[in-house]
Amino acid sequence: MATSAFPPFRVLLSRDQILRRIHELARAITEAMRGEPPCLVVVIEGARTFARQLQKVLPGQLPLHEVRASSYGSGTVSSGEVRLTLGQDVPCAGRDVVLLEDIVDTGRTIAALQRHFAQKGARSCRVATLLSKPSRRVVDVALDFVGFEIPDEFVLGCGMDLDGRYREIPDVVVYEKSVEMAFQRAAAAR
Ligand code: IMP
């Protein structure tokens, strides 16, 4: 019997559901831009998959610019300070930026990026995110295009990872340590 490469985590959103929703988001973004091509900025690494899927269905094969934002803090606790480590040279002055994010959690990353692009002279800075966890919000950010609102659970797949693992899972799944450990035990016994 073929064995799966990934633990059988619970599927929250299937690949088909995600792709259908991405088509809807592309239509909404196109309408909002009224013919003016936006400057698409991908928050890497996690949003790469979402961004590529969106790029395929948006008209005009728009280039994807990349930014990397990191939170600094002690241990697992974020200080709330977000530092931009890539993306200083995105050609955004006078343009309508659309930030492409995998998931908005506290909202700190998106708020920091919006401040950054406003300072760099962007005409506007909208946000398109595949997922949003509204119950986790600390900073009040306006999200223009939201794929799905989800509960406060740690999710993986569709580009989202845990220490670099599970990005390739095509669905959005809910991480559970016990499921992962059972899978690892079974793999070790084979
Ligand atoms: P925020 O600044 O708290 O909104 O953090 C957003 C970032 O946290 C996302 O771009 C992800 O990298 C990460 N993140 C938050 N929740 C999750 C999750 O459930 N799975 C994977 N990454 C997450």
**Rounded CA separation 12/148 (Å):** 10
- For residue 174, the CA-to-ligand 1 centroid distance in Å is 13
Which amino acid residue places its CA nearest to atom 16 of ligand 1?
A: 105
Q: What tens digit of pLDDT does each residue of 134-148 get?
A: 999 999 999 999 999
Q: Which of 44, 45, 160, 169 to mutate to test the pocket of ligand 1 (most atoms within 8 A of CB)?
A: 160
- Look up residue 79 and give its amino acid: S
pTM of the model: 0.93
Q: What DSSP line would sit under 43-88, residue for residue? A: EETTTHHHHHHHHHHSTT---EEEEEEEEEEETTEEEEEEEEEE-T
Q: What tens digit of pLDDT does each residue of 2-59 get?
A: 568 999 999 999 999 999 999 999 999 999 998 889 999 999 999 999 999 999 999 9
List the catalytic residues: 105
Q: What tens digit of pLDDT does each residue of 96-113 get?
A: 999 999 999 999 999 999
SS3 label, residue 42: strand
- Give the residues surrounding ligand 1 with Cβ less than 6 Å away: 43, 46, 101-109, 154-155, 160
78 has pLDDT over 90: no
Which amino acid residue places its CA nearest to atom 20 of ligand 1?
A: 155
Nearest atom of ligand 1 to the alpha carbon of 138: 3
- For residue 140, the CA-to-ligand 1 centroid distance in Å is 16
Contact at 8 Å (CB) between 38 and 63?
no
SS3 label, residue 188: helix
